[in-house]
Structure formats: C-alpha cells, structure tokens
Structure 1
Amino acid sequence: MVNSIDILKLGEVVGNLKHLKRTGWTKWSEIKEVETVACHMYRMALFSMSIKELRPDLDIDRVIKICLVHDLAEALVGDITPHCGVSDLEKFTLEKEGFQKIINYLPKKTGDEWYEYWMEYEKQETPEARCVKQLDKYDMIAQAYYYEKTYNIDLSDFFNSTEKSFFEAPFIEWNDTLRNSRNEFKSRKCT
C-alpha cells in the first residue's frame, strides 16, 4: 500500500459492483432485472441511516461504513452464496485475498480502516456488525418481496432461510411488517 490512491484501479474494481448481479437472484429466469451488489449495499447504507434515532446505542457512522464495505471483495471474487458449493472457510479466504488486493489501491491508513470494518462484519462480535448482518438479511427479503410482486414468482426459500435472522429493534418489527404485507399480497392474489 502506498500513501496515495490508485483512483483508476479503485474505480475499476468498485465499478465492477455496479454491474455484478447478486447470484441468488440469477437462478430465477423470471427475474429480468437482477439487483446488483452495489444496489444492495447502497440500500443497506440508506436503511442504516434511517435507524439513527431508533438505535442511539449504535455508532451509525460505523454501521454505514460496514454496509459499504461488507461485500466489497465480491468485486474481485464474485458473489459466492451457500449454493455455490464453496465452504465457509474457502469463501472467507477468497474474500480476504480479494479485499487485501483492493485496499492496496488506497493509502495505508485508509486501507487498514476499510479492512477493519470488513473484519468486524465477518467476526460478528460488535453490535454494529450484528446490525449490518440483520440489515443484510432484511434487504434480501425486501428484494425477494419486490420480485414476487413484480414477476409473480414464489421466493419462499428466502423468507424461510431468514426466519430467525432478526433479534433486535427495529429489525424484528420490519421483518414482521414485511412478512404481514407479503401474506396479505399472497392472499389477495389467491382470491
């Protein structure tokens, strides 16, 4: 790492996220416009800004930064999901290597800070990291609900896999609200 920014390389790598489709949605041929990793991280960051008054116990600026880097390595290694046949350890190793390449385009102190945020998310030991994990899961089911309404498909697997993912405010309420809205939508569709 140098004490300057290789803005062209950083821009190229980060730009990959604007076009990298989230793998979980690509297996559904009905979904014509698949969300990108950048869209996912951006909405998570906006959601995190919205909870500042609801969660005064959190360092929201830190939450936002974790949101913005938590999937950054995917710019080089791709969006690896549990269905890709890659072990958790192998995924972590690939993403760590990718992340270390990316931060080489940054000044050392900045790169170290980005890496710290990413590791904080990976370790899930702080309230901020756990908040981001819940934001990540909430954004996924919010996107699933959007796709169900837009493309008339059933994405119950995404909802089933996140049933126990929400354990703090405001995510418990958000989850309940979204699932209730989805149930109402599905019951209207059946009548």
Structure 2
Amino acid sequence: MLKINSPLVEVCFTIFRLKQLYRRGWLRSGIPQDRCESVADHILGVTMLAMIYADIYHPDLDQVKLLRMALIHDIGEIFAGDITPDDPISKGEKYILEKASITRIFSPLQLEREYLKIWEEYERGDSPEALLIRQIDKLEMVIQAIIYEKQENINLNEFYHSARSYLSDPLMIDIFTRLENLR
C-alpha cells in the first residue's frame, strides 16, 4: 500500500479499494468484470436510494444516521472480501472478519468505535434506519439485476428470490413487485 505521512489520506486510499472490489455474485453469474458493479458502486446506489426513499416516505427517520449507515454497511469488505451466501463462511465468521476490517480501516483516525457502532446497529437491524438500509440493500440488488438481465440477456432469478425474502415494508414490497414486472 502507498504510504503517505497522513492517516486521513492513507484511510482514503484504503477505502478507494472498494472501487476495484467487484461484487462476486454478479461475476459468478457471468457478468463480465468490465461491466460488473463494484462494492463502491453498490454503496453509492444504496446511499442514493436510501436518501431519496427516506426523503419521500420516511422524513421522520434520522437522515444523518441513515446515510452514514448506508455508506458504512459494506465497508468491512475492504479486507474481508465480498463474501457471498455461496461461500463456505458462516455468518459469525463473516461478522468477525468485517468487524476486524472496519477496526483496521478506521483505527489510524481513531474513528473505529464510532463507525463500528453504526455498522453493528446495521448488522443487528435493531433501529428503523437499520431495517430500512437492510431492505434498500436488497432493492438495489434487484435494480442492478434488471440492468444486467437487459444488458447481458441472462436470467438472474436467484437474486430476486434472495431479495424478496428480506423485504418486510409494504411499500418496499410494492416497489419490488413493480421492479419484477419490468423483467
């Protein structure tokens, strides 16, 4: 890794690795790497969807917490990797790897406790903001699946089935159904 005498710059270089960490589920499904969504792309999509959805349907939520959670939700993949449900790693092991990754990323700035708190809240799903981000994470995947089905002329049913099982908000389910009808 490039070493600069600035912890902030070094953390930025570390975070920017997400731009070249491709989503393995898409790669396994045959999406060429040159058109594959990166984890950074995914985080941007989740964050934008969360902001817009919350502004329209949930202005009562803590918007700062919501957006921070959207930005942090997959950041642990920098060192843990993009672990998919098909990987032979338990949820507990994945949690440990991602938690260690977040600690490693942000400890040079002494922000690891603050950011771990946000990430752990997301992982537990024990706040309205966390529940919304967990569902938007899956909705973003469905939107990306539709794009890939059109571009690559392939069937990505497994991603729809996976996403649907996470949705509980009636409006989110309605949006999912409308998206599925676009296929």
Instruction: Quote the offset at 1:129 in angstroms.
Output: 0.4
Q: Is the 8 A contact 2:31 2:148 kept in 1?
A: no
Q: 1:28 to 1:164 in 2, by over 3 A?
A: closer
Structure with the bigger RCO (C-alpha within 8 Å, sep 6+) is 1
| Residues 49-64 of structure 1 aligned to structure 2 (within 5 Å) | 49-51=51-53, 52-64=55-67
Q: Does 1:78 find its partner at 2:116? A: no
- C-alpha distance in 2, partners of 1:170/1:112? 34
Aligned residue in 2 for 1:150 = 151
Aligned residue in 2 for 1:94 = 97
What percent of counterpart residues are identical?
A: 33
Once the two structures are overlaid, the 10-residue window that deviates more, 113-122 or 148-157, is 113-122
- C-alpha distance in 1, partners of 2:170/2:61? 12
4+ runs of 1 displaced by more than 6 Å? none
How many residues of Structure 1 are paired with residues of Structure 2 in the alignment? 176
Q: Could you list the per-position Cα deviations for residues 132-186 of structure 1 after superposition, in whole angstroms to 9, with x for gaps in the alignment? A: 000100011111111000000000011112223222154122211101112xxxx
- C-alpha distance in 2, partners of 1:169/1:9? 42
What amino acid sits opposite 2:136 in the alignment?
A: L
Aligned residue in 2 for 1:47 = 49
Larger radius of gyration: 1
Instruction: Quote the offset at 1:57 in angstroms.
Output: 3.0
Q: Could you state the TM-score of these two structures normalised by the residue count of structure 2? A: 0.90
What amino acid sits opposite 1:27 in the alignment?
A: R
What amino acid sits opposite 1:17 in the alignment?
A: L
- C-alpha distance in 2, partners of 1:81/1:95? 13
What amino acid sits opposite 2:119 in the alignment?
A: W
Aligned residue in 1 for 2:3 = none
Aligned residue in 1 for 2:132 = 131
| Structure 2 SS opposite 1:83 | coil
- How well do the aligned residues superpose, as a CA RMSD in angstroms? 1.5
- C-alpha distance in 1, partners of 2:129/2:105? 23
Aligned residue in 2 for 1:113 = 114
5+ residue gaps, structure 2: 1-5
- C-alpha distance in 2, partners of 1:76/1:10? 13
5+ residue gaps, structure 1: 183-191
Q: Is the 8 A contact 1:103 1:115 kept in 2?
A: no
